[in-house]
Structure 1
Amino acid sequence: MASSSVRTALPGQLLLFGCGAATVAAWTGGFYACFVLVLLLGFWLASLALARAMPLHLPAERQVAAPDGETDRAVLRAVLDQAPTPLLSVERSGRVRALNRAARMLFDIEDALIDVPEALRESAPRLRYAGRAYRIDRIEAHGAGAARTILALIDIESEERLAEARTTRELLDVLSHEVMNALTPIASLADSALATLDDTPPPVAHLRDMLGTLSRRADGLLHFTQAYRQLARLPEPVLAPTTLAVLFDDLRRMFAARWGGRVAFVADGPPDGMVFIDRDQISQALWALLQNGAEAAVAATDAPQVRLSAKLDDRLSICVADNGPGVPDEGRARIFRPFYTTKKEGSGIGLSLARQIARAHGGDLSLLPGKDTAFELALPRHGRNADGMHAAKPAADPIPGK
């Protein structure tokens, strides 16, 4: 391209130079050359005009024509359709549209969703749809004069199955350990009782003691089985609007009825505002924390105290703390494990059940770091559970019998 442009411009430049040189030679050649001078001068001026009229072609950078808007959109659609993750757009009006092939196939639509799951309209962290679990990642997008939210549905079904398998394995380990601990002395006592019957006369008092022990061990195994059923059959939370003041008042009355003046109950004034929770289940979880705190404080100090406090912003955080001996380092890793307990008469399901309730609400229960014992129950303020769904019912009365 460059060499051909130079070749095109070169003849005009040589012609211009030759005419100029001939004109100078004629000027210096004398009177007879004047006629030639005039001719050459005219020819030089014509050549100059011709040279100026001939464009000097210089190499130009290659230019690529920009695709129009329709081509841009077609390319973008093709790229999005290759993504395996369902992508959705939530407009300010609430309309939800599928952005790629994966989303259209998941919801069996061509463009906009008709029956939109509530988890997509709100800020729920998860969605369960068509038998699979998805994590919802959100990006706020602003452009073309309108704000919208882009949703990416990340399939976490395999992750949940792995977590479920791990939990099942741990639970089976606990069950086998507890059942074996209960059955081993029962079998041993039964063999001893049978052997004692062969004595003449049989020692009735000794048999009575062995049978009493057998009965107590069987009762312990029954109690363990009932506790397991309670943990395994926790119903889904049914959410309803309530205030923290109502929740705290219920717990204060229950605590006074159970502990009287033996343990000081300090409740910091709960913040104002409405929350969406299953009040029965959250009361049950907090009651387990208050009971544990009171029992630990009574055993460790002459001035036992349990404190209940809460913070409310975009999330609800309820803290239960006591002035007991604290949780040793070796127990912190196992404290939420089903049936783990350090109390002689404990079932080991209170904290595990409380955490299960919190997670069913889309929150969590954690033991805060530090020397003192303090548990934090953190929940979404607007009541989304782990699957991003919610329901409503009239506010429940205080826990029956309390």
Structure 2
Amino acid sequence: MGFNRFRLFVLIRVIVLFLTVAAFVYLIFFDEKYVTTVVTGFLIIFEVFELFNYIESTNKKLRRFFDAIKYNDFNMSFTHDNKLGKTFKELNIAFKEVIDAILIERQKREEFFQELQVVIENIASGIISIDNDGQIKQINNSAFDLLGITKHRHSNQLNIKTKEIASLIDQLDGNPRATYKTHDGRELAVFETKYKLGEGSYRLFAIQDIKAELQARELEAWQNLTKVLRHEIMNSIAPISSLTSTLTEIIGEDIDKKDEHNIISHESLEDIEEGLKTISGRSDGLINFINAYRDYTNLPEPHRVDTPINQVVQNTVNLLKTDFKEGQLAVKMPKTEQKLMLDEQLIEQVLINLIKNAREATEHQDNGLVMVEVKVQNQRTSVIIQDNGPGIVEEAQQKIFMPFYSTKNRGSGIGLSLSKQIMQLHDGDILLESELGKGSKFELIFG
């Protein structure tokens, strides 16, 4: 409706201008009133100017609107501009609504930014953001406290040359995560993430104090280890103590002394012999347990070199395939050779432990199958050992990597815990998935 009025007003102005021009032509050719002719000419010029100004007023209003957005000048008012009369009242209202919506959105963004700043400044984790030039773009109070950096009025001039920050970055040495010990003895976990914002690239460091958590886990580990050690030692010491008491009673009651000679019945002698054999067996078991503990606690530091993982897996499979029935062991590897920094002998030891465990889990099944697969996904390499055996109960899954815990009658309980320790020394891990009746899957993840 407003635009129709605009066209009507333009049409009226054009008609008036046409009539004025006609009058001007008439005065020139048919009338000799020069003053009236001159006045009519000036009137034509005024009407033309007014017509163009009326038409251009909309464009001017649009330019003002877009300039207000471009230069963030939202103090400009459009509702009081009545040069076009009531015709463009709706346009003025629309301009105002758009500007109000932009102001509301800007206010929300400002509030969100302020809320984010409050969260960053008050979380327990340290946050440091560094740009490509090595300048600190963001550092919160926790980062100051954790790294022992004195906060002063020049803190916004910190960069990677700052002693504490430089030491932190050196500790990462290109890795996405690392542990860092401060000069005051704090144990910190550091995680690095790279991100882009606009045309700039940034490095974000998240820092957490993990000393209390490490101490709690260390205490829990010692308690679990103590329980296992106590259980194993008592299993060996209790029978030895009981048998020693029994043998002492036999010697005291069943041996007769005659003429400087000791006489014992054949039955009692057999009991003594059997008891001594049991004591000897239990003693050997205790010695083997101590040796296993020594092997677990004295694991050598891995000598890591660039090694094809396919070759390591294939060598291990070739070593063990004679222990399997035909078709019971399958291997799947990618065509592209993947090289990893690892100690070949230690990783072979892990693979041997897991493949042997899988074979034992399927040895009583006619359709038993063990699958060894090298998998590359999202630039991460893993080796999967999967069987279709009976599976592992949930309680055992929670304890299976605990030192000296075993689900086998004759197991030492250090195979899986030793394997996990080896993987951790390779910056990796072992994950277990198992379901009763459907088998188990161990996945070696290399960092």
TM-score range, shorter chain: 0.5 to 0.7
Task: Give distance in 2, aligned partners of 1:143 and 1:328.
Answer: 48
Shift, 1:111, TM fit: 3.5
- Unaligned runs of 5+ residues in structure 1 are 1-76, 381-402
Among 316, 336, 339, the alignment partner of 2:404 is 339
Shift, 1:366, TM fit: 2.1
Deviation readout 1:279-338 (Å, 9 max, x if unpaired): 33222222111111112211x213543211021232222111123222234433332232
Paired residue for 1:305? 369
Paired residue for 1:125? 177
Does 2:442 align with 1:378?
no
Deviation readout 1:71-99 (Å, 9 max, x if unpaired): xxxxxx9x999987544445447x58694
Shift, 1:359, TM fit: 2.9
Paired residue for 2:330? 266
After superposition, the Cα gap between the structure-2 partners of 1:222 and 1:194, relative to the gap in structure 1 and judged at 3 Å, is: same
Q: How many residues align?
A: 302
Among 298, 318, 326, the alignment partner of 2:391 is 326
Paired residue for 2:358? 293
Task: Give distance in 2, aligned partners of 1:87 and 1:80.
Answer: 7
Paired residue for 1:193? 247
Paired residue for 1:180? 234
Q: Is the 8 A contact 1:90 1:121 kept in 2?
A: no
Does 2:303 align with 1:249?
no
Paired residue for 1:136? 190
Give the 5 Å matches for 1:2-401. 85-92=125-132, 95=134, 99=139, 106=147, 111-113=159-161, 114=166, 117-130=169-182, 131-143=185-197, 145-198=199-252, 199-200=254-255, 201-202=263-264, 203-256=268-321, 259=323, 261=325, 264-270=328-334, 271-298=336-363, 300-313=364-377, 314-370=379-435, 371-380=438-447
Shift, 1:100, TM fit: 6.2
After superposition, the Cα gap between the structure-2 partners of 1:250 and 1:141, relative to the gap in structure 1 and judged at 3 Å, is: closer
In angstroms, what is the RMSD of aligned CA positions? 3.3
Q: Is the 8 A contact 2:432 2:443 kept in 1?
A: yes
SS at 1:368 equivalent: strand
Task: Give distance in 2, aligned partners of 1:96 and 1:325.
Answer: 57
After superposition, the Cα gap between the structure-2 partners of 1:99 and 1:290, relative to the gap in structure 1 and judged at 3 Å, is: same
Task: Give distance in 1, aligned partners of 2:122 and 2:444.
Answer: 42
Letter in 2 for 1:125: R
SS at 1:333 equivalent: helix
- Unaligned runs of 5+ residues in structure 2 are 1-116, 151-157, 256-262
Q: Is the 8 A contact 1:263 1:294 kept in 2?
A: no
After superposition, the Cα gap between the structure-2 partners of 1:119 and 1:251, relative to the gap in structure 1 and judged at 3 Å, is: farther
Shift, 1:358, TM fit: 2.4
Letter in 1 for 2:181: Y
Letter in 2 for 1:302: D
Letter in 1 for 2:442: F
Q: Is the 8 A contact 2:124 2:208 kept in 1?
A: no
Task: Give distance in 2, aligned partners of 1:332 and 1:338.
Answer: 13
SS at 2:383 equivalent: strand
Task: Give distance in 2, aligned partners of 1:330 and 1:378.
Answer: 23
After superposition, the Cα gap between the structure-2 partners of 1:82 and 1:292, relative to the gap in structure 1 and judged at 3 Å, is: closer
Q: Is the 8 A contact 1:231 1:353 kept in 2?
A: yes
Shift, 1:373, TM fit: 1.8
Task: Give distance in 2, aligned partners of 1:172 and 1:373.
Answer: 29
Shift, 1:140, TM fit: 4.0
SS at 1:336 equivalent: coil
Task: Give distance in 2, aligned partners of 1:170 and 1:239.
Answer: 31
Q: Is the 8 A contact 1:244 1:273 kept in 2?
A: yes
After superposition, the Cα gap between the structure-2 partners of 1:260 and 1:297, relative to the gap in structure 1 and judged at 3 Å, is: closer
Deviation readout 1:110-156 (Å, 9 max, x if unpaired): 64245565553534333233354323344545458431112121111
After superposition, the Cα gap between the structure-2 partners of 1:80 and 1:261, relative to the gap in structure 1 and judged at 3 Å, is: closer
Report percent identity of matched pairs.
29
Task: Give distance in 2, aligned partners of 1:180 and 1:297.
Answer: 32
Letter in 1 for 2:272: L
Q: Which has the higher helix share?
A: 2
Mean Cα displacement is larger for which, 213-222 or 149-158?
149-158
Task: Give distance in 2, aligned partners of 1:139 and 1:281.
Answer: 31
Deviation readout 1:191-226 (Å, 9 max, x if unpaired): 112222222223333211111110000111111111
Task: Give distance in 2, aligned partners of 1:125 and 1:323.
Answer: 36
Q: Is the 8 A contact 1:263 1:306 kept in 2?
A: no
SS at 1:343 equivalent: coil
Q: Is the 8 A contact 1:88 1:96 kept in 2?
A: no
